[in-house]
Structure formats: C-alpha cells, structure tokens
Structure 1
Amino acid sequence: MNRFCISIFLFLSTLTMSINSYGLDKFPALEKRYFGEVPPGLTPKLFEPKIISPEGLFEGGTFSADMKEFYFSRKNGKYEKRTFFVIRYQENRWGNETETDIKWPQFSADGKIMYVGKEYRERTNTGWSEPKSQGEFLQEQAHGLSVSSNGTYYFTFFKKEDNGHGNLGFSRLIDGKYENPVKLGAEINRGEYIAHPSIAPDESYLMWDVERKDGYGQPDIYISFKEKDGSWGSVINMGNKINTSLYEQSPQVTPDGKYLFFKKGEWEAREDGSRNWVGKSYWVDAHVIENIRPKQ
C-alpha cells in the first residue's frame, strides 16, 4: 500500500467516529467554551468576544473537535490583509492568540485530522504535520468543503463545461479510491454564487449559501434534508431570522452540536474600484435546524 493510500486510510479511520465520540469531559466547561459569551436562543446574535476581537475586527472562526483550539481571522483597520490566528484552551483558560498560516480549517470527529481545501494535516506529538495532498478528486474544488463522519466529501467544484457556474457535489471512497465529483440535483444547484457547504455528520441535512430569486437579496443560507429513500428533499431558505438583505454565508454547527454559526456582511467598494468584504460572525441555538425540518 503506497503512502497516499495509508494516509487516506488513517484519515478515514478518524472520520468514522461520530461527533458524540467526545464525552463532555473532553470539552471546556460550557461557560468557558465560548469565551464567556452568553449563549443565544432561537434568534441569532453577534458573536464577538473581546478576547478574540478587542478592536471589533474579528470575522469568524472554527473550533477544533475538542473545542480547545479556535482558528479565526481578522480583517480591516490595521489588518489591511486578512490575518489568521489560533487561540488555545490550556490549564483551564484561554491563552494568548498567535498568528498562523492555517486558513479556515475543518476537523475530523476525533480531532486527529485537519483538512484545509485540497490538503490535510495529521496531528502529531508536537502539533500538526506538514500539509499533504488529499488527491486529484479535489482538483476542481473551491469555496468550501465539508466531510461527513463516514468520509464522504461535499464541496463546491467548477468544471470547464459549466462556464464558471459552481456546483455542489460529493465524492465517496469506493474500492480504496475517491470517485470523481458527483453533481447534486438541479434543485440544489439552482442559483448563483453557490458556496460553503456544511454536511451533517450523519448526512441527514446539507446547508450552503447561494443567491436565489426567492431569497432576501444577496446570498442566503439554505438547507435540504435527506429523505428516507436517500434522496434530498426540498430546498428551504432558513428564514428571515437568519437571512436578511445582507450576505449570509458559511453555516457551521459547533462540534458539541449546540449552536449554528454563520457570517453576515456585504461587499463594500473601495476608492480604487476594488471590493472589500466586511462581515461579522453570528450564532444561534442549533434547534433552529430541527424547527425547519419538514414534519413526516
């Protein structure tokens, strides 16, 4: 077995564990888990803890599987370019942030694998390994990916024949090799600026952002639930508590399953004619997902 196959095997071995494989004792205490912020209810609220956003320049971030690392970005103000940071929970407290070259990571359920775009890293005794390629099946991937607990990738990809229109699709491991991306149905792939898929660990629902005529203006966050026969159900706009006339994007449920995080913002024009994204992170009780799920 070659090195790539061994790495993929190890990678999938970690992904097959469910998010619930972490006992509550593996997480920081709830009052500290979210940097001391008061949790939201079913109405989204701004997530901007002072420890990670002392000047209000925090954009958004991602928790590691054990919620003891938080990777995040800041932009605007003194950060003319988007700058990435990590902060770690050690000795029962959040420490000091440090800059990092790791951008928008995702994690396997047991936290041993970090995947970033077309690459992944393995946790070692001293931190994270150097980036390794995940394979050719991701060569057309862009604008986000998400991996279920059984190792199936969901991502946006751009094929030449689609003339710049992105599509959501998936790739499964079959006979030891990932298949070429399989495009999801026309209903899911309707609209413009399709991006940032987020698959449930058990693949029971899929969220993403897209601009549609039935939305609130700019891209909104949509969801589809899997039917009993394995097909995807109707595409549902997640409603006016989450979506507005602004640009909503990047939905993600926290590793403990308690909250849905997403970004809200808009593009602003610079004096030189270029555009600059200005957005903030919001969070809401994850029960909003079950409240949207169609009743059987």
Structure 2
Amino acid sequence: MRDSMISFTVLAFIVFLSACKTDKSNTIDDGSSTVQSPYLGQKPPGLIPEPFAPDLVTTVGWEYSGVFSPDMNEFYFLRQVEGTEEQEFVAYKNAGNKWKETVMSSRQGQPFISPDGKTMHLGRRYKEREKNGDWSEIKKLAAPFDSLPIMRLTASSKGTYYFDEFKPDFTGDIRYSRFIDGKYEEPKLLGEKINTGKSFHPFIAPDESYLLFDSPKEGGYGDSDIYISFRQHNGSWSNPINLGDKINTKAWEASASVTPDGKYLFFNRNTGSDNYENIDIFWVSTELIEKLKPQRVK
C-alpha cells in the first residue's frame, strides 16, 4: 500500500513538471502571484460584456480607451491618477513572457495603433515605431488635419483615416480621408446615415468592412450608444445598427474598437455618477458582430 502511494505521488509530480514545461502562455506578475495570459491573464468573455482586467486595468476609478498592438504583446489605455484630476497614459508590455506596467506619460490623446503596427495615432498627433521597438517623440499631423479638432482617429490597412471632429458646442461629425498618390486627400464627410445627430469615436475595421461609432441617437437606450454600419456591395454604408441592450444601457457607452486578432470588442461604459468619475473598460466576444451581419442591406 505504502509503495503504491509513493508511486502515485511520484507520477503526479512528473505530470506536474510536464505541464509546467509545456505551458508556453504569457504571464503577468502582480507582485504576489503569477497568472496565465494572453489578454493580461484574463479569461475571455462570451456574449455578455465584462470589465477588462479588474484591479489591473479596470478599477473603481476612471480608465478609458484600451487598445492592443497588432502582435498582441502591448496594451495601452488612459487612466486617472488616483487622488488627483490628472490623467496618464499607461502601457502593459509583454517582456520575457511577463506583462509589465509602464506609465508612459501624461495623457496625450486617445491611442490607436495602425494595423501594420508602425504608427500610434493620438488624435491629430502620432508616434512612429522606431527600429529598436520604442515609440518616437510625439509628432503632429500635417495639413489637411493640423487645424481640425480631432478627438479620435483610426486607420484601415489601406491607410485610410476615419476620425471625428469634436466641436465646442458638443456636436460631432465623422469624416474620412484616403491616401492617394503619396498624400492624404481633403477629408470628406460621411453621409447622413452616420452623421445624423452627434457621432463620435469611429473605429474602422482593417478591411473597411464595417465602422463602429457612438451617438445619442433617437431610439437608443440612454446617454450614448454604440452602433455599427456595414460596407455594402456598392461601397455605401448601411443604416447604423444599435449593438443592443447587452452592450448599450441607459448609461454612456462609447469608444468601441476590436482587438487586432478580431476576437473581442472593447468599449467604455460610465458605471459611476453623472460626472463620469468612474469610466470602465469592458470587453465582449465579437460573435455579436457576426450575428448582426445578416442584417446588411443588399
């Protein structure tokens, strides 16, 4: 009996060592324990949105605009510095199979990384990826963007810009600009389907097959809802489709984007007071987008 117990213990230990040796998942060291990754060690959500990375990213404070790099080894977001009115630009980077937090700077704009990973857009400013993998000093977009009140700018794989214009009277429009013959064309306003009312925070799919944005349109669920519009066969955009009551609530939802691997939708929700003191980052499976595709207008 004793010999059998010893054999079982040895076998269990061998299995444990084998599992540790073959597990190649990334990890994040929180100072007290190490948890499995990817996605900063988080268990992926299904069709019900969940706060992203509680205590690491999402807290009882203000966090906003979370995006991954195309290789999924970097995560960037904005947060309020605890006990102050200041906001800072934060990165989690995968180094040596561990995710490490870095405060990059004070807030510099809403981050979005181009599909090729070479540019970090920050509204009408940007950074470029250098040969050593670091980001350059912040630069300003040239004409025809330098004088526009851009809040969020995203880009497709073709380099086409989609961006909003945040005006002092809290109205907003979404425009686009294609890269043609070595330069960007004069920005063009998207049609009334998109720009009826106030439309903000566009996210263009890398292949330009759909556009996400938020707006307090009539018939919505509350303060501001997230919508999707699909590119049609003739190049036009479909009527915007509200993402539904699993995403949108009576609160403010905004700034949606999709992870570079196409699996998850990230967005922001006001979970606090009318003063927007507790903005959280949520994520949910992009299956919900797939479920909406049959509604496309032919």
User: Residue 158 and residue 97 in structure 1: after superposition, are their counterparts in 2 closer, same or farther (change >3 A)?
Assistant: closer
Partner Cα distance (1:284, 1:120) in 2:
28
Other structure's SS at 2:291 match = helix
**Matched residue count:** 261
Where in structure 2 are the equivalents of 1:1-296 lying within 5 Å? 31-53=36-58, 56-57=60-61, 59-60=63-64, 61-75=66-80, 77-101=82-106, 102-124=108-130, 125=132, 127-138=134-145, 139-157=147-165, 165-192=171-198, 194-265=199-270, 268=273, 275-293=275-293, 294=295
The residue type paired with residue 47 of structure 2 is: L
Q: Could you tell me whether the CA contact under 8 Å between 1:87 and 1:95 is conserved in 2?
A: yes
Partner Cα distance (1:118, 1:142) in 2:
6
User: Residue 277 and residue 112 in structure 1: after superposition, are their counterparts in 2 closer, same or farther (change >3 A)?
Assistant: same
Kindly provide the CA deviation profile for residues 227-270 of structure 1, in whole angstroms up to 9, marking residues without a partner as x: 1010111111111110010000000101111100000106746x
Farther-moved stretch of structure 1 (94-103 vs 38-47): 94-103
Other structure's SS at 1:291 match = helix
Farther-moved stretch of structure 1 (111-120 vs 125-134): 125-134
User: Residue 35 and residue 56 in structure 1: after superposition, are their counterparts in 2 closer, same or farther (change >3 A)?
Assistant: farther
The residue type paired with residue 249 of structure 1 is: A
Unaligned stretches of 5+ residues in structure 2: 1-24, 28-34
Task: Look up the match of 1:10.
Answer: none
Q: Could you tell me whether the CA contact under 8 Å between 1:62 and 1:104 is conserved in 2?
A: no
Q: TM-score if structure 1 supplies the norm length?
A: 0.80
Unaligned stretches of 5+ residues in structure 1: 1-26, 270-274
Partner Cα distance (2:50, 2:170) in 1:
34
The residue type paired with residue 291 of structure 1 is: K
User: Which 4+ residue blocks in structure 1 deviate beyond 4 angstroms?
Assistant: 27-31
Q: Could you tell me whether the CA contact under 8 Å between 2:227 and 2:241 is conserved in 1?
A: yes
Q: Could you tell me whether the CA contact under 8 Å between 2:254 and 2:267 is conserved in 1?
A: yes
User: Residue 282 and residue 152 in structure 1: after superposition, are their counterparts in 2 closer, same or farther (change >3 A)?
Assistant: same
Look at both structures and tell me which one has the larger radius of gyration over its CA atoms.
Answer: 2
Other structure's SS at 1:35 match = helix
Farther-moved stretch of structure 1 (100-109 vs 223-232): 100-109
Partner Cα distance (2:38, 2:244) in 1:
28
Q: Shift of the alpha carbon at 1:284? A: 0.4
Partner Cα distance (2:284, 2:114) in 1:
23
User: Residue 77 and residue 207 in structure 1: after superposition, are their counterparts in 2 closer, same or farther (change >3 A)?
Assistant: same
Task: Look up the match of 1:9.
Answer: none
